[in-house]
Amino acid sequence: MNSHPRLPRNSRPQANQGLVVIALLFLVVLAACIIGLAIYLIRQDSVVRSKFDGQRWEIPAKVFARPLELYVGAAVDEKSVRDELTLLGYKKDATYQASGTYLESGDSLFVHTRGFNFGSSREPEQVLKIKFASSAANGATIADIQSTQANTSGVVRLEPVLIGGIYPRINEDRVLIKLSDTPQSLIDALIATEDRSFYQHHGVSIRGLGRAVLSNATGGPRQGGSTLTQQLVKNFYLTNERTLKRKVTEATMAILLEIHYSKNEILETYLNEINLGQNGNHSINGFGLAAQFYFAQPIQELKLPQVALLVGLVKGPSEYNPWRHPESSLNRRNVVLKNMLEQGKITQDQYETARAAPLGIVKKPTAGQSLFPDFLDLVRRQLRLEYQESDLTSDGLQIFTTLDPRVQNAADAAFQQTLNQIIKSNPKKLEGLQGAALVSNPQNGEILAIVGGSGLFTGYNRALDARRQVGSLFKPAVYLTALASGRYNLLSLLDDGPVDISGSGMTNWKPRNYDLQDHGVVTLTDALTHSYNQATVHLGMQLGLPQVIGTLKNLGINATLTGYPSILLGAANLSPLDVLNMYQTIASDGFQHPPRAIISVIKSDGSPLQRFGLSMQQSVDPSATYLLNYAMQQVVKSGTAAAANRTLPATLNLAGKTGTTNDLRDSWFAGYSGNYASVVWVGQDDNRPTGLSGASGALPIWINLMNRLKLTPVSFAQPDGVVWQWIDNASGQVSAEGCPGATYIPMLRNTLPTQVTACGQDKMDQTQSLSYSDSNTPIDASNDGAADSESYTPATPAPAPTRNTTRPSSALDRAMESF
């Protein structure tokens, strides 16, 4: 009988030991996997929660223009309000039921405002009824304004125009929106197109993933299996790499996100995160900014077809760019509308109406870029000067500026139109001609508009960076020094003979007048009015260069100035902003206001950001400034800027000064009305001659600009130290109205002449006789011609004319009173 061979006794235990080892190894590997998975999930969970719970985005600081204020009596016409509404993206609507709409009706304008949070105060959404009126005396004004909201101040502010943003490091831009403020049609369109089971899945949709795999495998239209949550994870946390590892991470993080946060929180974050386009090097993130970028409207005001277009861009903002690919964009929009119809979110009629609508996008996008880059450049620079750098890193800052959109648009249009006309007059020589212009409010130094050059902004802002010789723009400082000294008045006689100066850093310096003529003896006013170089140098040397330089410093010139005689004729390199600082000091009665572009900076919590202090001071004697203003008004009335007086109303009493440099390289004009000070420079960037004087280059631009603004007359308050007096041009003695060669000018009270011309004395005697005859009082010879104190009636206090346009009712009595 055969028997089976037996295994060694120790073989079975060895097999059992092998199984145990394998089991142990499996458990170790399993434990390692579990631990590894746990560590992986903990890390991913930490990433998900830390960013979602913390600051989700770096929000650019938003820079706003000043808001348009509306109140009864405001010097605002209907066109100005309409222009502002256009800038703000308001639409005409017969019902004006929705915010952001308006209706014109007769002499009234109905405006449904959007409201705005200014940080320190909030302007509510309201409907306004604005009634306009016009009169010869006051021009166009607001006659009446009514509102659906109670208002105790009587002033209503439209929301300010957004002029740009100051971007964080990653160049992303967005306008945050809340889910509660989002149109339901947008939510319906997004879910119907991108994730129909959004409210049912837990971050990953197995059904959606299977549908996508099947469609792609069978050659159907390519579909993505990603849920909205997965799309958010990809945009919010991950990159666009197409790897299995990235997809696994995406799905994991999507599930974790759904565990910790509600559907509404996820959806709201998605609405603000998704990329919907590109504007230069700035990405357009979120539907809030996309609404402004494509339609120039807030998201709340979009209609169904507009909403569908934005949702269509989710699939590919470049592929469906409505400017580059309008047909593809239209087709994609209609797919979104079809999805909404199939999901029962819109009716057939709504679908047909929306499908027939045009794309409706703006011709040129403005959101995500600055409307006024030259001005924004100044804002950036002043932020660094006036605020702590660490404070400016706060996200969501609101920067309210002094920019007036109406003034800025006027400056842009006037500058470009006139510059083009000048170039056309000599295209070969003037090719590439450039320039700059600034406008401010002289009473507070607020910069209202900046033009930094012709063409697109390249980063070189000529209004701030072009440092050029200013020529005759320095002359008012020479004459102000003379008038303030008390040794000169407006009719003082000056020598306009040849100049030959050696020493003081000069060698045989022989400046000539612009017309190459010597004018002999001229009055101080005529020397400034006609910009005589020789008379200015003679006067300046008599006064002393340190005294003139001191006046320039007091007027706001902070640049280093050399003590050479050529400084009297503007041999100093300054920017147009430097010049504006000088002239707005003159235009504000001698008050020096640092030019400023920023009103306030508000943090995201509504509190103001602390700024460095700004000083305002009376740096120049107002009495001497009053006299200088008179002389500068003669520049416009009959001098080198007389072209302005032929174009602009003489009743405005405008004042200013032309400036021309050697070889006609630089053309300047600086001038002011009662409410605007403005400076224009024209020249070539390479400093080659242009053949343009101040009167032929910069002045026409200035005139065009001022013609577009609502100007108020120049009207200085007459200081106590100034009196108006009839003076004989030839002798400088007191004269009287009606006497040959008599001019009525302001004078410092302590510089009045002590002698009277024969004609002036006769006029005074006649007036005295009439006065005493009327009162039956004998003349007291001991008074040396002065009226008896009991019978003398003082003249009406002098008005504050700044040009010789009106006469006091009793000018002769004034002459007597001054003695």
| Active-site annotation, residues | 194, 472
Q: Rounded distance, CA 667 to CA 566, Å?
A: 18
Q: Give ∠ CA 115-120-125 in degrees, rounded to 5.
A: 10
Residue 624 near residue 606 (C-beta atoms within 8 A): no
Nearest to 414 by CA among 706, 696, 705, 709: 705
Long-range contacts of 282-285 (CB under 8 A, 24+ apart): 282/167, 282/171, 282/172, 282/173, 282/368, 282/369, 283/171, 283/172, 283/173, 284/173, 284/317, 284/367, 284/368, 285/57, 285/172, 285/173, 285/174
Residues contacting 493, CB < 8 A, separation 6+: 521, 522, 523, 524, 732
3-state SS class at 325: coil
Q: Give ∠ CA 470-474-476 in degrees, rounded to 5.
A: 145
Residues contacting 247, CB < 8 A, separation 6+: none
Nearest to 116 by CA among 60, 178, 150, 67: 67
Residue 468 near residue 683 (C-beta atoms within 8 A): yes
Burial 431-442 (b: 16+ CB within 10 A, else e): eebbbbbbbbbb
Write down how long the chain is.
819
| Helices of type H across 54-158 | 78-87
Strands (E) located in 445-552 = 446-451, 468-469, 493-496, 501-503, 506-509, 520-523
Query: Which amino acid would we find at residue 634?
Result: Q
DSSP state of 596: B
The two tokens of residue 311 are: 């949702």
Return phi, psi of residue 276, to 5°.
-125, 20
CA 737 to chain centre: 48
Q: Rounded distance, CA 472 to CA 568, Å?
A: 8
- The dihedral built from the CA positions of residue 563, 567, 568 and 573, taken in this order, carries a sign that is negative
Strands 398-401 vs 434-441: parallel, antiparallel or unpaired: unpaired
Helix (H) or strand (E) holding 129: strand 127-135
Beta partners for residue 105, in sequence order: 108
Write down the residue that tokens 């009793």 correspond to: 810
For residue 40, give Cα distances in angstroms to 37, 46, 237.
Answer: 5, 10, 15
DSSP state of 608: B
Residues contacting 97, CB < 8 A, separation 6+: 112
DSSP state of 202: S
3-state SS class at 530: coil
Q: Rounded distance, CA 490 to CA 401, Å?
A: 40
The two tokens of residue 417 are: 């139109």
Q: Rounded distance, CA 450 to CA 409, Å?
A: 10
| Helices of type H across 357-435 | 373-386, 405-425, 427-430
Helix (H) or strand (E) holding 579: helix 576-587
Residues contacting 797, CB < 8 A, separation 6+: none
Residue 707 near residue 649 (C-beta atoms within 8 A): no
The two tokens of residue 671 are: 């001038």
